Structure 1
Amino acid sequence: MKIVVVGGTGLIGKQVVAHLTDAGHEAVAAAPSTGVDTLTGQGVDEALAGADVVVDVSNSPSFAPDDVLRFFTTSTRTLLDAEARAGVRHHVVLSIVGADRNPDSGYLRAKVAQEEMVHAGGVGWTVVRATQFFEFGPRIADGATVDGVVRIPPVAFQPVASADVARFVAEAAAGDPRGETYDVAGPDRVRFDEFVRAVLAGAGDDREVVADPAAPYFGAVLVEDSIVPQGDARVGAVSFADFAAGAAV
Structure 2
Amino acid sequence: MKVVVAGATGRIGSRTMMRLRDHGVEVVPVSRRHGVDVITGDGLDEALRDAEVLVDVTDAPARTEGAGLQFFRTATTNLLGAAVAAGVEHHVVLSAVGADLLWSDYFRAKLLQEDMVRSSPVPHSILRATPFFESIEAMVEKNTVYDHVHVAPVLVPPVSTEDVAVAVAHVAVGLPLFGATEVAGPEMRRLDELADEWLTARGDKRVVVPDAQARYFGAELRERTLVPRTNPRVGHLSFAEWLARPVVHAQG
TM-score tier (shorter): over 0.9
Greater helix share, structure number: 1
Say whether 1:196 aligns with 2:204: no
Q: CA deviation at 1:29?
A: 1.4
Identity of aligned residues (%): 46
Report the counterpart of residue 119 of structure 2 in structure 1. Answer: 120
Report the counterpart of residue 44 of structure 1 in structure 2. Answer: 44
Name stretches of at least 5 consecutive residues in structure 1 with no aligned partner: none
Contact 1:94 1:128 in 2 (8 A): yes
Could you tell me how far apart the structure 1 residues matched to 2:168 and 2:230 are? 19
Say whether 1:157 aligns with 2:146: no
Contact 1:106 1:218 in 2 (8 A): no
Q: CA deviation at 1:245?
A: 4.0
Contact 2:139 2:217 in 1 (8 A): no
User: Structure 1's 220 and 136: CA in aligned 2 closer, same or farther, altered over 3 A?
Assistant: closer
Give 1:142-181 correspondences, 5 Å limit.
Answer: 142-181=141-180
Letter aligned with residue 30 of structure 1: V
Report the counterpart of residue 186 of structure 1 in structure 2. Answer: 185
Contact 1:100 1:109 in 2 (8 A): yes
Could you tell me how far apart the structure 1 residues matched to 2:99 and 2:150 are? 21
Contact 1:151 1:210 in 2 (8 A): yes
Could you tell me how far apart the structure 1 residues matched to 2:134 and 2:143 are? 16
Could you tell me how far apart the structure 2 residues matched to 1:117 and 1:185 are? 24
Report the counterpart of residue 58 of structure 1 in structure 2. Answer: 58
1:79-135 Cα deviation digits (max 9, x unpaired): 111011111111000000011011x21111110000000001110100000011112
Letter aligned with residue 127 of structure 1: I
Q: Does the residue aligned with 2:3 lie in a helix, a strand or coil? A: strand
Could you tell me how far apart the structure 1 residues matched to 2:64 and 2:75 are? 16
* TM-score, normalised by the number of residues in structure 2: 0.94
Q: CA deviation at 1:51?
A: 0.7
Contact 2:142 2:217 in 1 (8 A): no
Q: Does the residue aligned with 1:54 lie in a helix, a strand or coil? A: strand
Q: CA deviation at 1:217?
A: 1.0
Q: CA deviation at 1:240?
A: 3.2
Could you tell me how far apart the structure 2 residues matched to 1:164 and 1:66 are? 30
Name stretches of at least 5 consecutive residues in structure 2 with no aligned partner: none
Give 1:102-141 correspondences, 5 Å limit.
Answer: 102=102, 104-141=103-140
Report the counterpart of residue 212 of structure 1 in structure 2. Answer: 211
Contact 2:54 2:90 in 1 (8 A): yes
Flag as ranges the 4+ runs of structure 1 deviating above 4 A.
none
